Amino acid sequence: MCRWAAYAGAPIFLEEIISRPGHSLIHQSHGATQCHSSINADGFGVAWYGDRPEPGLYRDVLPAWSDPNLRSLTAQVKSGLFLAHVRASTGTATSRNNCHPFVHGVWSFMHNGQVGGYDHFRRDADMMIPDTLYAARKGATDSEALFLVALAEGLDSDPRAALERASARFIALARAKGAAPHLRMTAALSDGKRLYAVRYATDDAAPSLYYRWSDTRGGMAVVSEPLEAEEGGWNQIASNTFCTFDGAKVQVEAFMPCKLVEGYLQSTASELAAE
């Protein structure tokens, strides 16, 4: 599984999250401690917000620890809101277009987890993306498809409900044509104004997720794993929750796509019968 980190608050150099801490995101790319695989070497990416509404984006297929350009960029660029990700592929190719974060308009999105049996219904997942958004489909991952379906479900107006509906649609597909676990997910997303994060699983193995407010930095870090092994103040996010981060405040809401799945299963069964 992948590892990721996000930050929102007073502008800081990206390296203060990505490369400088003892258990930074780059360190996690070759020494993760809270996932099945300690190595996350199938590419990396950073999306950051500056003076323009749309985020900047830098992605590549090298392991994060071996790209000197990444270290140079993070040492020079400051941002008050950014998302960073190191990838461990769950089956799709190692390519720049499959690296997270994914961006569309003002939105950025990154994901850690899996949709069970995705290879068996990739075409069906693509068909859930409307024509108005399909041109934005550059890669082949379940994560990018989930992001675009969430956009279609109303991410601009209600991020929690839109991602909940999109997740329910993927769970329904996994139950109809895939395999368990139907969905495991931590994800971070932002419209450049607020940072959102979710932790969810259809079983009892949701990927790890933490947050910590820093008075020194004046910002919030949301991470797959704490950035310093001995540092206190890290709060674990419970499974089946959606968090909105606004300064030091954290709004926690239930995230329950499972309640919507039965309705989507009926429509999926009808579509499969018509094929």
Name the residue among 242, 260, 262 with its Cα closest to residue 252. 242
Burial 2-32 (b: 16+ CB within 10 A, else e): bbbbbbbbebbebbbbbbbbebbbbbbbeeb
pTM listed for this prediction: 0.95
Burial class (CB in 10 A: 0-12, 13-18, 19+), 177: middle
Please identify every stretch of the chain with a pLDDT value under 70, giving residue numbers as ranges. 267-275
Q: What pLDDT is attached to residue 266? A: 74
Q: What is the pLDDT of residue 271?
A: 61
**Residue 192: predicted pLDDT:** 98
**Predicted local distance difference test score (pLDDT) of residue 268:** 59
Amino acid 229: pLDDT = 81
Cβ atoms of residues 183 and 171 within 8 Å: yes
Domains of the chain: 3-274 (3.60.20.10)
Contacts with 275 (C-beta within 8 Å, 6 or more apart), sequence order: none
Q: Are 214 and 270 in contact (CB under 8 A)?
A: no
**Maximum CA extent, the chain:** 59
- Residue 101's pLDDT is 98
The pLDDT score that the predictor gives to residue 236 is 97
* Among candidate residues 128, 136, 76, 73, the one with its CA nearest the CA of residue 109: 136
